[in-house]
Amino acid sequence: MKIVADENIPLLHECFGSLAEVVALQGRDITAGDIIDADALLVRSVTKVNRALLSQASSLRFVGSCTAGVDHIDQQELNGRGISFSNAPGCNARSVVEYVLCALDILADRDGFELEKRKVGIVGHGQVGSRLYQTLDGLGVEVMACDPLCERVPDVRFESLETLIQQCDVIALHTPLTRNVEYPTHHLLDYDKLSQIKSGAILINAGRGPVIDNQALLRVLEEGLDISVVLDVWEHEPDVNLDLLARVDIGTPHIAGYSLDGKITGTEMVYKGLCQTFGLPARVRLAAITPMPALNRIAFNDSATAAQAAGMAMKSVYDLRRDDALMRRLFRMDQEARCIEFDRMRKHYCERREFSTLTVQARKCEAGVQERMKALGFHLQVS
Ligand SMILES: NC(=O)c1ccc[n+]([C@@H]2O[C@H](COP(=O)([O-])OP(=O)(O)OC[C@H]3O[C@@H](n4cnc5c(N)ncnc54)[C@H](O)[C@@H]3O)[C@@H](O)[C@H]2O)c1
Ligand SMILES: O=C(O)[C@H](O)[C@H](O)COP(=O)(O)O
């Protein structure tokens, strides 16, 4: 068997090496010629799997994308050719939730607000949105969700997008990128909607860049709309608009889902999908070869307040300011170098772990500290 794969799939050879010959290529550069005799193609979000790419792939039986998003995959074309497809729904949902929590923590420090006093609106109540909702709700934050496609459940407050825009102090976008469907998300936030966001609010996009019309966002910011903006995803990646980057409060190179845990789970989910398609036993257990986190324990004294402890624990696992600072190096580069650097930052991304890998000892701490740590998803030790 021959597998052609994006070289940025973690543990690629450990996982698939015993099953097949694995040819690892740069995801953006995979061509129709590269997969002529491949039995399986494994991609991440930067490879467009469409009619042109598949045109000569007569042996191809399986395509796997180690990602949550599938807007780069023409699934109709795959169905038409009888090619099985697997992706990795939810693999990195916790990672994105933690990115959003860390962004809010940094802005709360900078601007001196308490998250518990802010109203948060989440657009998209799927794997990421629902987990974010639950976490914020557990922290005592007032939350509302907007998702016209999601089944209504009693303990979730669903509102329209207009209500979220009018009422919320934080708006977080977690929808897929869709066009030509009943509720398309392409440019869901256009000039009109952006202009209506409350003054002082925070807008976060860690879904897909084109869900916000980036030119319109730049325009409202230039016109003086007083909002803070956190962008992990950009229209026309890897070609980031520097005028927009200059105006956002936090900017990162599409790494919200890049915890090592999330990426490895993505690999494992696709590995299982491939094994199923080819009738092979899925023997590799990636948990067994996942590295130990560099930091696995932190202890608080009884003098710690809940807010202080939460901020320290979050920053010790993931300090988002580092990613923002690295991103701003793009200002020093010409367009070609910027695109290369955007991909380079993603390829060589630091080994970031999820909150659950950190044990928080809060034995003598007040109940508030313990509750906050638990709600955030840390592994709490109180005995
Ligand atoms: N930045 C990153 O690193 C990163 C990581 C993971 C996922 N993503 C992106 O975020 C998206 C969401 O991730 P997920 O895992 O939660 O996906 P998901 O498919 O589980 O959830 C998406 C939700 O959005 C809802 N939705 C669709 N159209 C909508 C609309 N017009 N308005 C409101 N809601 C709408 C869907 O009903 C669904 O519940 C992915 O599709 C992917 O593109 C980005
Ligand atoms: O859709 C996803 O899962 C995320 O956007 C993912 O983090 C994208 O990462 P990439 O495939 O571009 O490495």
Nearest to 216 by CA among 189, 183, 253: 189
Give the model confidence (pLDDT) of 183-228 as tens digits.
999 999 999 999 999 999 999 999 999 999 999 999 999 999 999 9
366 has a pLDDT exceeding 90: no
Complete DSSP assignment for 303-314: T--HHHHHHHHH
| Atom 5 of ligand 2: nearest residue by CA position | 69
List binding-site positions for NAD(+): 127-128, 147, 175, 232, 257
Looking from the CA of residue 257, the nearest atom of ligand 1 is 3
- Which band of pLDDT confidence, cut at 50, 70 and 90, is reported for residue 330? very high
Concerning whether 372 is annotated as a catalytic residue, the answer is: no
Three-class SS state of 366: coil
pLDDT of residue 104: 98
In the reported structure, the alpha carbon of residue 124 is separated from the centroid of ligand 1 by a whole-number distance in angstroms of 6
Average pLDDT over residues 293-316: 95
Q: Is the ipTM of this complex over 0.90?
A: yes
Number of Cα atoms under 13 Å in the Cβ half of residue 205: 25
Q: Which domains does the chain have, with CATH numbers?
A: 2-87+259-289 (3.40.50.720), 93-251 (3.40.50.720), 297-382 (3.30.1370.170)
Residue 33, burial from CB neighbour count under 10 angstroms (0-12, 13-18, 19+)? exposed
CB of 64 within 8 A of CB of 273?
Answer: yes
Token pair, residue 142, equals: 């007032």
d(CA 361, CA 84): 46
Averaged pLDDT, 37-47: 98
What's the whole-number average pLDDT of the chain?
97
The string of pLDDT tens digits covering residues 58-80 is 999 999 999 999 999 999 999 99
Residue 343 confidence (pLDDT) above 80 = yes
Pocket test for ligand 1, best of 130, 159, 174 (most atoms within 8 A of CB): 174
Query: 26: closest CA among 337, 346, 374, 255?
Result: 346
- Average pLDDT on 293-314 reads 95
* pLDDT above 90 for 229: yes
Ligand 2 atom, smallest distance to 45 CA: 11
Catalytic site residue from 125, 208, 338, 352: 208
Mean pLDDT of 291-313: 95
Q: Does pLDDT of 365 surpass 90?
A: no
Whether 208 is catalytic is yes
Any residues with CB less than 8 A from the CB of 339 and at least 6 apart, and which?
Answer: 238, 239
Q: How far is the CA of 171 from the centre of ligand 2 (A)?
A: 21
Q: Is 283 a catalytic residue?
A: no
> Is residue 383 pLDDT above 80, yes or no?
no
Q: Identify the nearest ligand to the CA of 182 by its number.
A: 1
**What does the alpha-carbon distance between residue 114 and residue 107 come to, in Å, rounded to a whole number?**
10
Smallest CA separation from ligand 1 atom 8, residue: 207
Q: Residues 312-318: what's their mean pLDDT?
A: 97
Q: Which atom of ligand 1 is nearest to the CA of 177?
A: 43
**Rounded to whole angstroms, how far apart are CA atoms 173 and 121?**
9
Sequence ranges of the binding site: 45, 67, 127-128, 147, 175, 232, 257-258
Q: How far apart are CA 291 and CA 352, in angstroms?
A: 11
Q: Which ligand is nearest to the CA of 184?
A: 1
Instruction: Ligand 2: list residues with CB < 6 Å.
Output: 8, 44-46, 67-69, 92, 254, 257-258
Average pLDDT over residues 226-239: 98
Q: Give pLDDT tens digits for 93-135.
A: 999 999 999 999 999 999 999 999 999 999 999 999 999 999 9
Give me ligand 1 centre to Cα 141, in Å.
Answer: 22
- The rounded percent of the chain whose pLDDT value lies above 90 is 97
> Which letter, b or e, does each residue of 164-192 get, where b requires 16 or more Cβ atoms within 10 Å of its Cβ?
bbeebbbbbbbbebbeeeeeebbbbbeee
Q: Residue positions in the annotated binding site for substrate?
A: 45, 67, 258
Could you tell me which residues are beta bridge partners of residue 42?
Answer: 5, 64
Give me the pLDDT at residue 11, please.
Answer: 95
Q: What is the pLDDT of residue 81?
A: 98
> pLDDT band at 56, cuts 50/70/90?
very high
Task: Give the burial string for 310-323 (b: 16+ CB within 10 Å, else e).
Answer: bbebbbebbbbeeb
Please say whether the beta carbons of 256 and 91 come within 8 A. no
**CA 313, 109, 161, 232: dihedral to nearest 10 degrees?**
-70
pLDDT tens-digit map of 243-297: 999 999 999 999 999 999 999 999 999 999 999 999 999 999 988 889 999 999 9
**What's the gap in Å between 136 CA and the centre of ligand 2?**
24
Please give all residues whose beta carbon lies within 6 A of any atom in ligand 1, as ranges: 68-69, 89-90, 92-93, 96, 123-129, 146-150, 174-178, 183, 185, 188, 206-208, 232-233, 254, 256-257
- 254, 346, 353, 372: the catalytic one is 254
Distance 93 CA to ligand 1 centre (A): 10
First-residue to last-residue Cα distance in the chain? 52
Could you tell me if 73 and 87 are in contact, meaning their C-beta atoms sit under 8 angstroms apart?
yes
